[in-house]
Amino acid sequence: MSNQPPPFPDTGIVIAHYHPAGRVARHLLNFIQHARRHVTPHIVFVSTGLSDPYKALIESHCHVIQRENVGYDFWSYKIGLESLMAQARPWQRLLIINSSIVITNPALLAHQLFARPLGSGLVGVGRSRQPDDHLQSYCILFEGEPFIRSAAMQRWWAGMEPISERKQVILKYEVGMSQYFLAQGVALDGLYKPTQKQRLMAIVRALHMGTLSFDVAPDQNTVSLDLSYSEFMNPTWYMWKDLLQQFGIVKIDFLKKSPLAPDLHRLIQRLPPQVSGPLHALIDDALI
């Protein structure tokens, strides 16, 4: 292992963790270890409950904050960012990421997030227009020291209150955060930019699932598909394969609830055994 310090000393990472039994999935520990070696030592792990063995394990790799289980992931993000901002470093990038995704390839995700020219504003993996234009909150970067230190940034987090209803959190904080910063003139960027073919495949998957339909007359032989429909679909469900290949991530919600999840398992089975075995084990561990 190289003794060189991580290359992004002015990058901070906040991980929002929740598990009803207080365990930490193996993939999340893998990401923490990789990020500490190859990205930054400034990692804050905020959890609403950790068992003692996992707390001791995580504390050996990063700063751990335990808190009351209120406010969902955004309250963990708030507490973690406050901890980082108290260091008064010239932060260039701050990442917020939660435990709702399985990180199958931490090196790939870290490369996609950090091996890019530094921008200014909000950068997320997924961007959606359902129900309004926003970056999906499972993984978002705040970029550029002037923006990170801006009054708009301070007002957003200072004005946050804990909300106990999930739908309200999504509307007020996930969608609301993007809408707030857009109104402040802050740029938003989604790293996943689907091709026309990927948009079409998303629509085909939605048609297959029955979540999208068209009225077709009995004598009608052709249907015109507007690819912009895909902008109103959840990328973590309808474009899961692309996110897995480009970023090495898959949403736990997709694995547990989507009718498309068996397609992922069939994809893994086609991989060489030395790859498919560990990948299956990683996913199974995340679902415990």
pLDDT in tens, 19-63: 999 999 999 999 999 999 999 999 999 999 999 999 999 999 999
Query: Do 117 and 180 lie in a common domain?
Result: yes
Q: For residue 256, is it within any domain? A: yes
pTM of the model: 0.95
Same domain? For 36 and 171 the reply is yes
Which residue range(s) make up the domain with 139? Answer: 11-190
Residues 148 and 221 in one domain: no
Q: How far apart are CA 281 and CA 231, in angstroms?
A: 33
212 CB-near residues (< 8 Å, 6+ apart): 203, 206, 229, 233
DSSP string across 202-263: HHHHHHHHTSS-----TT-------GGGGGGS-HHHHTHHHHHHHHSEEEHHHHHH-TTHHH
The helix/strand/coil state of 86 is coil
Residue 2 lies in a domain: no
Domain-embedded: residue 32: yes
Q: Tell me how far apart the alpha carbons of residues 162 and 5 are, in angstroms, rounded to a whole number.
A: 37
Residue 139 forms part of a structural domain = yes
pLDDT score of 103 more than 50: yes
Would you say residue 270 has pLDDT above 80? yes
User: CA dist 178 to 40, 83, 100, Å?
Assistant: 26, 22, 19
Phi, psi of 217 (to 5 degrees): -70, 150
Q: Are 28 and 118 part of one and the same domain?
A: yes
pLDDT at 1: 46
- Tell me: the pLDDT tens digits for 228-256? 989 999 999 999 999 999 999 999 999 99
With bands split at pLDDT 50, 70 and 90, how would you rate the model's confidence at 2? low
Tell me if 19 sits within 8 A of 49, measured CB to CB: yes
Alpha helices in 133-195 (DSSP H): 145-148, 151-158, 166-169, 176-183
- Is residue 248 included in any domain, yes or no? yes
User: Count of domains in the chain?
Assistant: 2
Q: Are residues 117 and 166 in the same domain?
A: yes
